[in-house]
Amino acid sequence: MRSLPPLNPLLAFEAASRHLNFTKAARELNVTQGAISHQIAVLEEYFGAKLFERKSNQLELTPNAAAYAETLHAAFDDVRRATASFSAAVSPRTTLTIKGYPLLLSRWLTPRLPAFSRQFPHIDLRLVSVSGASLVDFENQDIDIGIRYGRGRWKGLTSHLLFADELIPVCTKALAKALHLKTARDLVGKPLLQTHARVNDWPDWFSCAGVDDENALKQLTSFEDLGIVHRFAIEGSGIAILQKNYVEDDLREGRLIIPCAPVLRRDLGYHLVTPTNSAKDSKVREFSNWLLANLG
């Protein structure tokens, strides 16, 4: 019985046979296109047969190579699954606890987490919501990573900016039409929504818009939780001022609109924070590095 073909050419062929494109295969394996071509040539010499044909500038597998590739795909999938299973079995599972603001966790962070779990299956994530305006308390709570709002300068904490303030007024299209909202001045005296913890958001927005009117906040309603503000806005009960990052899906899918400019930008934002003495902990480092590399 013949021995197995050399592994690197086999990896190159498996990737190239899926993509039918040497450039894409090279990108997947993090090598050059020339390296893929070389490895395919090595495998063709090993078998003494062509693996690919080029027809009308399109790369195609030969019939025999196509049958071989189908078997390889299944075999490599088995190897990948076995590897993931083995890695999970031998790697001690650990829990990473992240504490942050409820709407940030649900609207911004949670959609990103499945990708992290696929890459780090041995880390179980536990999300804890900050209550009201309270801060993440590392000394008295079992917290590994926190998300804190401010300017990013806190004693004893390592801080990385996740995103800066980009506050916008949002409401339903029906409410904007009913209230004839077209300019910033049209929001004066209208039903505005905010949280108790963010009392400066609307005044700062009106100032940014160049509107100075003592009646601007005449119908302002405050809530304890920003999630309630978001819910009321979705239901058409008022105009909320929210982080643009929180409502991108709502804007894209038409649940909310931005009735007028401007966007309020300040030197405040949401920061990933960890105690300086724990920043080198492996699970903290892995999550922090991953999240900061995938902010887009």
Predicted local distance difference test score (pLDDT) of residue 68: 95
Range from 76-90, 183-197, 282-296 that averages highest in pLDDT: 183-197
Give the architecture-level CATH label for domain 7-90.
Answer: Orthogonal Bundle (1.10)
Q: Report the C-alpha gap between 125 and 101 in whole angstroms.
A: 16
Parallel, antiparallel, or unpaired: how do β-strands 219-223 and 123-129 relate?
Answer: unpaired
269-287: pLDDT as tens digits: 999 999 988 766 889 999 9
Q: What's the whole-number average pLDDT of the chain?
A: 91
Band (pLDDT 50/70/90 cuts) for residue 1 is: very low
Q: Is the peptide bond before 114 cis (omega within 30 degrees of 0)?
A: no
Asked if the domains at 94-164+269-293 and 167-253 fall in one CATH topology, the answer is yes
Q: Is residue 269 within 8 Å of residue 147, measured between CB atoms?
A: no
State the Cα torsion 141-116-275-103 to the nearest 10°.
-60
Region 170-183: mean pLDDT is: 98
Predicted local distance difference test score (pLDDT) of residue 264: 98
Predicted local distance difference test score (pLDDT) of residue 145: 95
pLDDT above 80 (res 92): no
Q: In Å, how far from its chain's centre is CA 230? A: 20
185-225: pLDDT as tens digits: 999 999 999 999 899 999 999 999 999 999 999 999 999 89
Flag whether the pTM goes above 0.85. no
If we measure between CA atoms, which residue out of 289, 256, 260, 283 comes closest to residue 171?
256
Q: Report the C-alpha gap between 169 and 210 in whole angstroms.
A: 15
Q: Is residue 30 within 8 Å of residue 36, measured between CB atoms?
A: no
Q: What share of the chain is helix, strand, coil (3-state, %, to 5)?
A: 45, 20, 30
Q: Is residue 249 within 8 Å of residue 78, measured between CB atoms?
A: no
Band (pLDDT 50/70/90 cuts) for residue 88 is: low
Region 160-166: mean pLDDT is: 96
Band (pLDDT 50/70/90 cuts) for residue 42 is: very high
If we measure between CA atoms, which residue out of 207, 259, 206 comes closest to residue 236?
259
CATH 3.40.190.10 fits 167-253, yes or no: yes
Residue spans of beta strands (DSSP E) within 1-144: 52-55, 58-61, 94-100, 123-129
If we measure between CA atoms, which residue out of 127, 141, 121 comes closest to residue 99?
127
Name which residue leads in pLDDT, 119 or 163: 163
Q: In Å, how far from its chain's centre is CA 282? A: 21
Q: Determine the Cα angle at 292 with ends 290 and 294, to 5°.
A: 70
- The string of DSSP codes covering 131-181 is PTTPPP-TTTS--SEEEEEESS--TTEEEEEEEE--EEEEB-HHHHHHTT-
**What does the domain layout of the chain look like in residue ranges?**
7-90, 94-164+269-293, 167-253
Assigned CATH for 94-164+269-293: 3.40.190.10
